[in-house]
Amino acid sequence: MSCATCHVILDQDTYDKLDPPTTAELDMLDLAFEPTPTSRLGCQIKMRPELDGMTITIPSGVNNFWS
């Protein structure tokens, strides 16, 4: 949680299932490329069964090794 390169945008349903972001995460998201109300740092998302099927969007203006 020191670079914001793992910035992702979640669908609202998934965002609502997560614990609220910490102050440190919110501060780091301020440095991310075009954060949205449902932005999170991927490195801070704890996987659990109820998140199965979640939708994650990688912001278009970041380097993405998948594309």
Whether pTM > 0.75 for this model: the answer is yes
Residue 40 lies in a domain: yes
Of 4, 33, 34, whose CA–CA distance to 21 is shortest? 4
Phi, psi for 39 (deg, rounded to 5): -75, 145
Residue 65 lies in a domain: no
- CATH number for position 11: 3.10.20.30
Q: How far apart are CA 35 and CA 42, in angstroms?
A: 13
pLDDT of residue 4: 86
Tokens 């390169």 belong to which residue?
5
Residue 53 lies in a domain: yes
Q: What is the mean pLDDT of each successive set of 10 residues along the chain, which is 67 residues long?
A: 86 96 95 94 95 92 61
Please give the residue range of the domain that contains residue 26: 7-57
Per the structure, the count of domains in the chain is: 1
The 39-41 sheet, strands edge to edge: 39-41, 7-10, 56-57
pLDDT of residue 11: 96
